[in-house]
Structure 1
Amino acid sequence: MAIESLMERQGTFDYILLETTGLADPGNLAPVFWVDDGLGSSIYLDGIVTLVDAKNILHLLDQPAPEEKASHADEEHPGSHSGPVLSMAHMQISHADVIILNKTDLVSPEELERVRERIFSINSVAKIHVTDHSRTPQIEGVVLDLHAYDNLESLDFGSKGHSHIDPAISTIAITIPPISVDKIPHVDAWLRSVLWDTILPAAKSTESGPTDFDIHRLKGILALQDGSSKIIQAVRDVFEIRDSQNQQDEESPKTQCKVVLIGRGLGKSVQPWQGSFEAFLARDE
């Protein structure tokens, strides 16, 4: 990687802040920096930050110019995509770990609330920082030192099982009781099905699920019956299940598993996803 070569010549860096163009798809860039620990790279992905123009974002979401439309889904599944237009603004918001909502001095409180609701409907797990003139209260914890892929202990998944204000992209949340350790391979297999094969395993007791969908981001916490927990992180088809970085709070173990999916075509109900996940974990094999 060119950045690693630069580090070898110039020494170590505290941070590398990569600023992309306004039309860049973060889903294509994130896996490049999300390196497996076993490869021994000194570079790791800290998080994705998206700067949102509060004055113009609703127009960019609803009426994107031709060059502002996302095209990767049509390239991967020619002729299969139908429905609302997917803009690059949707892609950048859906992949974000942090959203800086800028130019808020140019909108009314009512307009700002509509913008916040729309952003939340696309990505309900990203932290939103409201600002104007691109000023943030601090750099660490807002733009740098996010540790978005290290742990999810403080993540607010929201109370809603489904958010569907935006017609193109939505967020769904699956919750189940703690699982046994031997169910982790089942979770892995379910993730491979929905992320790699774009197939939602059927569950007989629930309504039929979506068949034309794309998952952009996935985050989750697996509460285990032995009191420990695992975290799940995914960007498109790259995912991992790993130990939580914060295992010392054994007196207050997690009371439920939570999995949040952000993407296109997830459907109007969380039930097919909930039923599929529960049925898959109930398998004996």
Structure 2
Amino acid sequence: MPKLSQEIDSRIPVTVLTGFLGAGKTTLLNHVMTANHGEKIAVIINEYGEVGIDNQLVVGADEEIFEMNNGCICCTVRGDLIRILNELMEAKNGNSHRKQVHFDRVLIETTGLADPAPVAQTFFVDENIAEQYKLDAIVTVVDAKHAEDQLDKGHEAQEQVAFSDVLLVNKVDLISEEELHKLEKRLKIMNPAAKLYRTEQSSVDLKKILGINAFELDKKLELDPDFLNSHEDDHEHDDEVKSIFFREDRPLDLDKMERFLKEWLTEHGADTLRYKGVLHINGVKQRIIFQGVHMLFASAPDRNWKSDEIPRSEFVIIGRNLDEAWFKSQFAACVAS
């Protein structure tokens, strides 16, 4: 544990970015990475699926992205978090076989199914990490459109709100003022100590989420007296939740893909918690980025494919009671003739 001192805290500040599936975490991360804040930020992304997608959706951060896949950051890959943080510091200090890196702070984006409490524990129970890093804040993005249902059904969403220092109520343009007031009242009852800001497209003044020194251990211990004593196997996920990953090097037919999406969302939209990825469409020079939550879907052309990369479609679907065989067969039929 770091010693109390009157000296300036020289540890690297860490912001944990959490929020349920599809709330807008990656959009917020893009705002941070493209903003003119003058800081170098190392980003650690944890994804629930076997193969990562988020690193492809974060702009301007090719060399600063560190992925942890195939597990929840609060469960199977928590050791990876400690390892990566240690490797980052070694590289920063020039004590690594890796290229020296320079960064002023770390931002950790957790999977939408993560309980943030075990992530925060890492910065207190691991002595080496506690001496080098300081947990600055836990920022939770809340999907205003789907929050009520998510809070009713998912204990992960409740934990994310309860342990947050800052709540970003996102997508406020998609609900009425009456619905928004009701949601905010519920959130304040769940976590009266958290700062609450309304956002659209996860756009927020970064001074409200970075360098705010908001994480207070004493308050977290009041919320959960066993905060520093809980074990990794205390956290369990809904067995009905699974991820399906798709990859295809051959170009896709646009009309076929649109029909597949329409049928998928009509038949399985309610069970589809989150989906996102990159599509390689026949005859289109740009990557097509698409993502959505339940029935809400958006897509747009991105940059051109680079000369040194193989154009391919990669995307992930996270949901409950999904028929993987059906999805795989429907997707396979979308390959261009």
TM-score (norm 1): 0.44
Structure that is richer in strand per residue: 2
Structure of greater Rg: 2
Structure that is richer in helix per residue: 2
TM-score (norm 2): 0.37
